[in-house]
Amino acid sequence: MSDNKLKVNSAITFFYYKDTEKANHFYQNVMGFELAVDQGWSKIYRIRDNAFMGVVDESKGAHRANEIKPVELTLIVDDPDAWYSYLISQGIQPISEPRTIEAMKLRMFLLHDPEGYLIEIQKFL
């Protein structure tokens, strides 16, 4: 597979929402993700470099929003404790406090986005 035409340059993971206004506000204004593409019914956010996530209006996308959220967005950061404090200051209530898991060599905490998708903020130790 050394053919340059088969090279993957980036990836986008799409999340489906009933209320895209709340989700877009959260990812753009609270999480600070850069709006890269606005398709109207879908907004694609640059998390960093070539890492993207998309907020999709479930009434127009390929899938429908569901109460079961079997997808987790994990963000690798330099300082999970600073992120935790920042999110608290923005009125976000994480579902766990930062903790170190020695066996996995990481420090992390969890929160939900506006419609219940799990977000893990972590640092590899």
Are the C-beta atoms of residues 23 and 15 closer than 8 Å to each other? yes
**Each residue's pLDDT tens digit, 8-27:** 899 999 999 999 999 999 99
Superfamily of segment(s) 1-60: 2,3-Dihydroxybiphenyl 1,2-Dioxygenase, domain 1 (3.10.180.10)
Q: Given this model, what pLDDT does residue 3 score? A: 77
Are the C-beta atoms of residues 54 and 33 closer than 8 Å to each other? no
DSSP 8-state class, residue 34: E
- Read off the pLDDT band of 1 (50, 70, 90): low
- Tell me the domain boundaries of the chain: 1-60, 69-125
**Each residue's pLDDT tens digit, 35-81:** 999 999 999 999 999 999 999 999 999 999 999 999 999 999 999 99
CATH of the structural domain 69-125, one choice from 1.20.140.150, 3.30.720.110, 3.90.1150.10, 3.40.50.2300: 3.30.720.110
Q: What is the distance between the alpha carbons of residues 58 and 102, in angstroms, rounded to a whole number?
A: 39
Does the pLDDT at position 98 exceed 60?
A: yes
